[in-house]
Each structure stands twice: as C-alpha cells, then as structure tokens.
Amino acid sequence: ELQLLESGGGLVQPGGSLRLSCAASGFTFSSFAMSWVRQTPGKGLEWVSGISGSDGSADYADSVKGRFTISRDNSKNTLYLQMSSLRADDTAVYYCAKGAFLAVPGRIDIWGQGTMVTVSS
Amino acid sequence: QSVLTQPPSASGTPGQRVTISCSGSSSNIGSNYVHWYQQLPGRAPRALIYNNHQRPSGVPDRFSGSKSGTSASLAISGLRSEDEADYYCAGWDDSLSGWVFGGGTKLTVV
C-alpha cells in the first residue's frame, strides 16, 4: 500500500529551526517528484517546495525561499524539509505530497496525513 | 490572496447538481492542466480530478471536471451528504515556477 508518513513537527520559537521528514513506502520513491504543501489552520493550501525524482532539482515558493531547504534520500525513501528563521506565519500543517511524474510540474496525486508546526514564543 | 479564485462556499440538497468554479490566468490554467482535490473534515486532501477531467480510480463518476481558457469547473451530480467537504483547484504556474491553489470552496449539503 502506498504510504507517506510525516514526522518532525512541533512547537518552535520564532527564529528557530526544525526539520520535517516524510517516509515513503509502496512505490519506487526515486521515480517521482515530491513536494511539501502547507495549510494554515482553517485556511487554504499553499505549495511550499518541490524536488524532482532524478537530479534533485528543487523549486520554492517565494514565501520560504532562502529559509527552507528541501532534500531527499532515495536510498532511505525519505523526503526532508529543513526550515530555518521560522516566523509565526509559518505555523501550519505540513503535508508531504507525491508527484505523478519525475518532474515537479507533474500533478500531485498522493498526500500524507500531515504534521503540525507551531511557531510561537 | 490565492492565485486561483474559487467561491468560498457552495451548497445543494441531496440529489442536486452543483458546480464550483476556478478562475486563473494564462500562466497557470491557461497553459497547464487543472486538478481538483477533496478535503473531508479533519482529513488530508485527496485527488478528485486530474488533467482537467480525468478521475483517479475509485472516484465516482458523479464527479466531473472541465476547463475552458483560463477557467475551470468541478461538477458534482447526485449530491450526497458525504460530499460535504472543502474542494480545491490547483495547477502549475509557469511564471511562478510553482504549484498554485485556489482558496477552497466549502460545500454544504443541506
């Protein structure tokens, strides 16, 4: 069964750092792009970052560029999101999402259950 | 302010047909596929329609999608109480080099 399991969320102070992980199973991880999408409590979805399945090329939303870094370890079937200089408006549920193709612009077809990140003093 | 524009709410009675619109621009809907996601209360989103009108396996044919120019729409026929959810349109934006989403439409079955 195809599964995405996020971990690493929690409470962090403004200006702090946090690393999210997403363990994938049930598919050939290296063959597909992966993304992080976040959802502010009670609000809509916002794409954060995506990484291709092959060469690891990455794209970022302007709101996180320079502060967040996406990476993947295909040998461990795991996706990461390193978040630094965190701000209150980064507070959200962060979803790991699988792309349908190697490249990030391919459609997103599977979503994890999400992990909550709260930035507060 | 979302890049794609959806009505914040929609409603219908059981058995009725409802449509949800999604408006974008030439850099997203106008030049790329539109996808729709359903988010049930307290759950993660799930793919509902892809490539404008295709349904993933397991999605009932009561759900259909269409696209014209820089706009798209999702139609749900034979409305059921279990269709109460938030619905989001999405697409790749060539100018932003990223995925963009609509603000979501909360569907109520009254």
- B35 in A contact zone (CB under 8 Å): yes
> Cα angle at B2 between B83 and A62, to 5 degrees?
130
Cα–Cα distance, A55 to A112 (Å, whole number) = 23
Q: Does A114 contact B44 at a Cβ distance shorter than 8 Å?
A: yes
Q: Does A47 contact B56 at a Cβ distance shorter than 8 Å?
A: no
CA quadruple A105, A108, A111, A114: dihedral sign: positive
Asked whether residue B82 carries a pLDDT value surpassing 80, the answer given is yes
Q: What is the pLDDT of residue A106?
A: 83
Question: Which chain A residue has the Cα nearest residue B45?
Answer: A111
Chains A & B: contacts with CB separation below 8 Å: 53
Do the Cβ atoms of A63 and A90 come closer than 8 Å?
no
Do the Cβ atoms of A107 and B50 come closer than 8 Å?
yes
Asked whether residue B5 carries a pLDDT value surpassing 90, the answer given is yes
Q: Does A108 contact B96 at a Cβ distance shorter than 8 Å?
A: no
Going residue by residue through chain A, which has 121 residues, state the pLDDT in tens, using 9 for 90 and above.
999 999 999 999 999 999 999 999 999 999 999 999 999 987 889 999 999 997 889 999 999 999 999 999 999 999 999 999 999 999 999 999 999 888 888 899 999 999 999 999 9
Q: Is B12 helix (H, G, I), strand (E, B) or coil?
A: strand
Other Cβ atoms closer than 10 A to A64: 23
Q: Does A107 contact B96 at a Cβ distance shorter than 8 Å?
A: no
Cross-strand pairs, A72:
A79
Q: What is the pLDDT of residue A56?
A: 87
Q: Is B3 helix (H, G, I), strand (E, B) or coil?
A: coil
- B90 in A contact zone (CB under 8 Å): yes
Question: Which chain A residue has the Cα nearest residue B103?
Answer: A44
* Nearest-by-Cβ selection for A46 from B45, B56, B101: B101
Distance from CA of A15 to the nearest CA of B (A): 25
